[in-house]
């Protein structure tokens, strides 16, 4: 007697694009950024929901852009945000980098909680009818694997915390041959510090779905000040013995921690047969525990002989310890109630939440809305901060490196293509730099803070001036390749005297080595000499400034995924 809701996944997919907002209410939403990936427009665009979209140029420097035709049938959605995408045919990972610009708070230890939503519409942009599978990552952590489809719009949503001084990195990584990652839209919204705060800030939340059962349209911003998407589940009355009931309360006080929009409490779902209770069943492939937030509000003012009271029974097991605050649930009239259902593991790939009236209840159970999420692994600290700063110096000095964003090492094995890291999964060190054949021109900055380096390969660039002495002080360095550059002067004794080091420095015509004649003959001194002073030992290098280019500001963001099929019994 289960009546399945038809095509939930498709409804989710097609009903989700309606929310865009630009002017976040001052009380919340410090970051409210909507990035239209693949749009080169420099002018912000305000959509029909007053959400302002910007092009993605300032947030990423890699990838290629494509246009697609978006079917016009997505009600409430801004299809313009989906009609361009950015694809990433090269590199292990490509990252958006978004600064949290919080000028009012300079306490960089304050934690900021953000919601990130990434959206994907393949639209056969490559004419291959082959929607790709790829990985999403954020700030050095795994978000999940995404499998796109030929013609659905998918989005994935995630909430995590970061220090205010940090930035947000959202990365796409190729995991299968010929599966080229792409992204259509990326949205970041600040949450109030209370939101979802019963999950410690060291852990990310990955949302699976968020459904409002009584409403007749998708609810987003501005009703929801955080612009969460509350999916509408469709015309239930016509397909199942369920009914939508409307609250007769003139107002509903929604003063609860996760601040859902008042709209979702105005309508609820019940069984049409009033001697039956409502239940939720879903099938899932997830093996990790699910966590639910269930939302309730009484729809009529009850008199003294009426009572609505029900227990939430999970997988046919009445376990009150996982229901917070507690069973039984008594929905309040004119107010909102949020109940957490914790740590629910699917049994035989099925999760059942029964809302079963207690024996003293005169009325059947009701349900306004349900959110489900999993809790991810503890957030990684990220690559050692000294190493990150030193890599920043390299990026500043060499324009060829400036489009490398995201965590250099994490998540493993998705490092930047030209570094190797050790196996520390929380705060790894950089152990190798492979900057050979990069066309680097200028002088090496002092990256001695990367003192876990074992291998440095700088072969075949145009690096100039003296070989810096700090290279000889790196305690673990065993291989240094400086061949085929324009180094000059002498090789520092710290390198020559290091018996553990394999040094390769050939192909530097102006470098004084024991096999070269340059030490005595070359005139690399910065002033002209007359005559043939072949005996002059002078080879003072001149000190130029490298062509330091500025690292461009990078923004970072978010994302998440929903996959669920759902049935209401």
In the complex, the residues that contact ligand NAG under the rule CB under 6 A are 48, 78-80, 109, 126-127, 129, 131, 149-150, 162-163, 166, 216, 273, 275-276, 289, 303-306, 342-343, 347-348, 359, 379, 381, 422-423, 437, 439, 460
- Residue 531 C-beta: closest distance to ligand NAG, Å: 37
**Cβ 19 to ligand NAG shortest distance, Å:** 12
Shortest CB 462 distance to ligand NAG, Å: 8
CA torsion sign for 492, 494, 499, 502 is negative
Residue 242's H or E segment, with its range, is strand 242-246
Token readout for 73 is 């049938």
Q: What is the Cα gyration radius of the chain?
A: 29
Of residues 125 and 416, the one with the C-beta less far from ligand NAG: 125
Integer angstrom CA distances of residue 181 from 177, 206, 252, 449, 487: 11, 20, 44, 34, 40
Q: Which is nearer to ligand NAG, 229 or 512 (CB)?
A: 229
Could you tell me the CA-to-CA distances from 179 to 88, 148, 414 in Å, in that order? Answer: 10, 10, 16
Q: 145 vs 273, which CB is nearer to ligand NAG?
A: 273
CB of 543 to ligand NAG, least distance (A): 25
Q: How far is the CB of 523 from ligand NAG (least distance, A)?
A: 27
**Residue 442 vs 541, nearer CB to ligand NAG:** 442
343/552 with CB nearer ligand NAG: 343
Q: How many Å apart are CA 108 and CA 221, to the nearest integer?
A: 29
Residue 286 to residues 173, 187, 198, 205, 366, Cα–Cα distance (Å):
22, 25, 22, 14, 27
- 246 vs 502, which CB is nearer to ligand NAG? 246
Beta carbon nearer to ligand NAG, 273 or 542: 273
Q: Which is nearer to ligand NAG, 216 or 542 (CB)?
A: 216
Q: Coil, strand, or helix at residue 473?
A: helix
Between 131 and 376, CB nearer to ligand NAG: 131
Q: Which residues on neighbouring strands pair with residue 293, listed in sequence order?
A: 340, 371
Q: For the chain, how many helices (H) and strands (E)?
A: 5, 35
In the beta sheet, which residues pair with residue 147? 133
Nearest alpha-carbon partner for 409 in 171, 181, 201, 111: 171
Alpha-carbon distance 284 to 287, whole Å?
8
DSSP 298: B
Dihedral sign for Cα atoms in the order 353, 357, 359, 360: positive
- Smallest separation, CB 566 to ligand NAG (Å): 19
Q: How far is the CB of 47 from ligand NAG (least distance, A)?
A: 6
CB of 129 to ligand NAG, least distance (A): 4
Q: How far is CA 553 from CA 168, 366, 403, 527, 557, in A?
A: 12, 49, 10, 40, 14
Whole-angstrom distance, CA of residue 565 vs CA of residue 352: 12
* Side-chain half-sphere exposure of 116, counting CA atoms within 13 A: 32
Residue 545 beta carbon to ligand NAG: minimum distance, rounded to whole angstroms = 22
Structure tokens at 298: 């009484």
Q: Where are the beta strands (DSSP E) in 407-543?
A: 419-421, 430-434, 441-442, 455-457, 462-466, 479-481, 486-490, 502-504, 511-512
**Which one, 20 or 472, has the nearer CB to ligand NAG?**
20
Cα first-last separation, the chain: 7
For ligand NAG, the closer CB: 150 or 542: 150
Minimum CB separation of residue 126 from ligand NAG in Å reads: 5
Minimum CB distance to ligand NAG smaller for 107 or for 446: 107
Cis peptide before 325 (omega within 30 of 0): yes
> Is residue 287 packed enough to be buried (19+ CB in 10 Å), middle (13-18) or exposed (0-12)?
exposed
The Cα–Cα gap between 134 and 332 comes to: 45
- The minimum distance between CB 487 and ligand NAG, in angstroms, equals 16
* In the complex, least distance from residue 550 CB atom to ligand NAG, rounded to whole angstroms: 22
For the CB of residue 91, give the shortest distance to ligand NAG in the complex, in Å.
16
Closest CB to ligand NAG among 340 and 490?
A: 340
Which DSSP letter does residue 9 get? H
């Amino acid at each position: 007697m289960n009546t399945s809701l038809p095509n939930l996944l498709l409804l989710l997919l097609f009903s989700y694009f309606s929310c865009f907002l630009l002017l976040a209410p001052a009380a919340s939403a410090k970051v409210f950024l909507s990035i239209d990936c693949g749009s080169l427009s420099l002018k912000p665009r305000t959509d029909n929901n007053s959400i302002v979209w910007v092009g993605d140029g300032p947030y990423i420097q890699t990838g290629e852009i494509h246009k697609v035709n978006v079917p016009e049938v997505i009600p409430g959605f801004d299809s313009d945000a989906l009609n361009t995408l950015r694809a990433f045919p090269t590199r292990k990972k490509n990252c958006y980098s978004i600064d949290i610009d919080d000028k009012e708070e300079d306490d960089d230890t304050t934690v900021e909680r953000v919601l990130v939503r990434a959206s994907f519409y393949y639209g056969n942009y490559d004419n291959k009818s082959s929607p790709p599978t790829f990985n999403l990552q954020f700030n050095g952590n795994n978000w999940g694997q995404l499998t796109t489809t030929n013609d659905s719009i998918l989005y994935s949503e995630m909430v995590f915390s970061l220090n205010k001084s940090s930035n947000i990195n959202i990365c796409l990584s190729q995991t299968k041959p010929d599966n080229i990652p792409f992204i259509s839209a990326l949205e970041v919204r600040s949450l109030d510090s209370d939101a979802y705060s019963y999950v410690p800030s060291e852990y990310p939340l990955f949302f699976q779905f968020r459904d409002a059962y009584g409403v007749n349209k998708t609810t987003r911003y501005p009703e929801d000040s955080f612009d969460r998407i509350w999916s509408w589940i469709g015309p239930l009355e016509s397909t199942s013995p369920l009914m939508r009931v409307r609250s007769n309360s003139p107002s509903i006080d929604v003063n609860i921690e996760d601040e859902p929009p008042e709209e979702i409490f105005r309508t609820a779902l019940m069984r049409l047969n009033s001697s039956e209770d409502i239940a939720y069943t879903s099938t899932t492939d997830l093996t990790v525990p699910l966590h639910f937030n269930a939302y309730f509000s009484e729809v009529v003012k009850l008199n003294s002989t009426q009572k609505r009271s029900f227990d939430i029974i999970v997988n046919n097991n009445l376990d009150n310890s996982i229901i917070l605050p507690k069973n039984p649930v008594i929905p309040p009239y004119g107010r909102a109630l949020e109940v957490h259902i914790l740590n629910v593991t699917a049994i035989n790939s099925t999760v059942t939440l029964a809302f079963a009236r207690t024996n003293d209840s005169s009325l059947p159970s009701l349900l306004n809305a349900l959110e489900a999420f999993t809790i991810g692994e503890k957030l990684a600290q990220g690559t050692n901060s000294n190493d990150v700063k030193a890599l920043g110096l390299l990026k500043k000095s060499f324009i060829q490196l400036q489009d490398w964003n995201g965590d250099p090492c994490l998540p493993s094995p998705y490092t930047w293509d030209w570094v190797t890291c050790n196996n520390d999964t929380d705060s790894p060190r950089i152990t190798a730099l492979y900057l050979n054949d990069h066309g680097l021109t200028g002088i090496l900055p002092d990256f001695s803070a990367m003192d876990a380096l074992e291998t440095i390969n700088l072969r075949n660039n145009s690096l100039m001036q003296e070989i810096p002495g700090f290279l000889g002080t790196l305690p673990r360095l065993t291989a240094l390749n400086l061949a085929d550059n324009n180094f000059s002067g002498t090789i520092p004794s710290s390198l020559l005297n290091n018996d553990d080091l394999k040094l390769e420095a050939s192909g530097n015509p102006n470098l004084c080595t024991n096999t070269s004649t340059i030490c005595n003959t070359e005139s690399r001194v910065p002033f002209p000499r007359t005559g043939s002073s072949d005996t002059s030992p002078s080879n003072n290098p001149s000190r130029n400034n490298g062509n330091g280019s500025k690292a461009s500001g990078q923004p970072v963001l978010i994302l998440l995924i929903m996959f669920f099929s759902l049935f209401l019994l």
